């Protein structure tokens, strides 16, 4: 499967006028070694070391994703799922193919 094809990832990653929006499922307080666990048309799964308390997991998610995507932390925003394992993110400056490629490089 070509992970960079936008039509394959349409359910989880799409482009808007504001930027690229994508959904992830996070695993807070995970002992997994990989940051990005899975990328498929149905789901993007991410391991986090921080607990899901006091916004620590959300903060880690944004910082680590910004680093993986090589963008500033101000270019990525959590737009839904602040208190859920299912989160929706907005990334400015990258298209869906670039995001999938960057995430694929760390799986």
pTM of the shown model: 0.87
- Could you list the beta-strand ranges (E) of the chain: 13-15, 20-27, 36-39, 44-47, 76-80, 86-91
Residues 37-90 have pLDDT tens digits of 999 877 899 999 999 999 999 999 999 999 999 999 999 999 999 999 999 999
Q: Band the pLDDT of 11: cuts 50, 70, 90.
A: low
pLDDT of 8 over the 70 cut: no
pLDDT of 104 over the 90 cut: yes
CATH number listed for the domain at residues 13-104: 3.30.1200.10
Q: Band the pLDDT of 9: cuts 50, 70, 90.
A: very low
Structural domain boundaries of the chain? 13-104
Q: Cα–chain-centroid distance for residue 81?
A: 12
Nearest to 57 by CA among 87, 34, 37, 79: 87
């Amino acid at each position: 499967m070509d992970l960079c094809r936008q039509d394959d990832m349409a359910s989880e990653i799409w482009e808007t006028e504001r930027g690229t929006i994508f959904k992830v499922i996070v695993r807070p307080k995970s002992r997994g070694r990989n940051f990005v666990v899975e990328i498929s048309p149905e789901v993007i799964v991410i391991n986090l070391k921080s607990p899901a308390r006091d916004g620590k997991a959300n903060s880690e998610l944004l910082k680590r994703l910004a680093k993986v995507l090589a963008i500033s932390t101000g270019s990525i925003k959590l737009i839904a799922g602040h208190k859920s394992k299912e989160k929706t993110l907005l990334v400015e400056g990258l298209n869906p193919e670039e995001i999938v490629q960057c995430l694929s490089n760390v799986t």
